[in-house]
Amino acid sequence: MNRACPLALIITAAAMVPAVLGLPGVAAADARLQKGPYLMDVGQTHAALLFELTEAAPATVTITSQDDVVQTLPSEESDFHEVVATELEPGTAYDYRVEAGAATAEGSFTTAPAAGEGPVRFLVAGDNRTNAQAHAAVTDAMRRRGGEFVVNTGDMVANGAVDEDWQELFDVERELLRDTPLFPALGNHELYLYGVGLPGFLKYTRVPTALGGRETYYGFDWGPVRFFMLDSNDDWADTESDQRRWLREKLAETDRSETIAHVIIVLHHGPVSSNRHGGHPDMMSTGLLQLFRRHEVALVLSGHDHAYERGDAHGVKYIVTGGGGAPIYDRNDPLPFQHRFEASHHFLAVEADRERVEVTALRVDDSVIERCAFNRGERWTCVRPESATADFVPSEPVSSTRTDDGTEPQSGRGPSILALLLGAGVLLAALAFLARVVARRRRHRRGRHD
**In this predicted structure, which of 10-24, 40-54, 208-222, 310-324 has the lowest mean pLDDT?**
10-24
Mean per-residue pLDDT of the chain: 87
422: Cβ–Cβ under 8 A, 6 or more apart, which residues?
none
The confidence score (pLDDT) of residue 25 equals 55
> pLDDT digit string (tens) for 40-82?
999 999 999 999 999 999 999 999 999 899 999 999 999 999 9
Q: What is the mean pLDDT of residues 146-170?
A: 98
Residue 407 pLDDT grade (very low, low, confident, very high; cuts 50, 70, 90):
very low
Share of the chain above pLDDT 90, in %: 77
Residue scoring higher pLDDT (108 or 405): 108
Q: Is the pTM higher than 0.85?
A: no
DSSP calls for 28-89: HHT--EEEEEEEES--SS-EEEEEEEEEEEEEEEEEEETTEEEEEEEEEEEEEEEEEE-SPP
Report helix, strand or coil for 109: strand
> pLDDT digit string (tens) for 305-324?
999 999 999 999 999 999 99
Q: Are 351 and 358 in contact (CB under 8 A)?
A: yes
Domains, in order of start, for the chain: 31-110 (2.60.40.380), 120-394 (3.60.21.10)
Q: What is the mean pLDDT of residues 143-157?
A: 98
Report helix, strand or coil for 397: coil
> pLDDT digit string (tens) for 271-301?
999 999 999 999 999 999 999 999 999 999 9
Residue 422 confidence (pLDDT) above 80: no
Residue 427 pLDDT grade (very low, low, confident, very high; cuts 50, 70, 90):
low
CA gap 225, 237 in Å, rounded:
28
CA gap 431, 423 in Å, rounded:
12
Measured from the Cβ of residue 194, the count of other Cβ atoms closer than 10 Å reads 7
160: Cβ–Cβ under 8 A, 6 or more apart, which residues?
166, 189, 190, 191, 192, 196, 197, 198, 199, 200, 201
CA torsion 12-14-16-17 (nearest 10°) is: 170
Q: What is the mean pLDDT of residues 340-359?
A: 97
The confidence score (pLDDT) of residue 391 equals 83
Report helix, strand or coil for 349: strand
CA gap 204, 182 in Å, rounded:
11
Residue 425 confidence (pLDDT) above 60: no
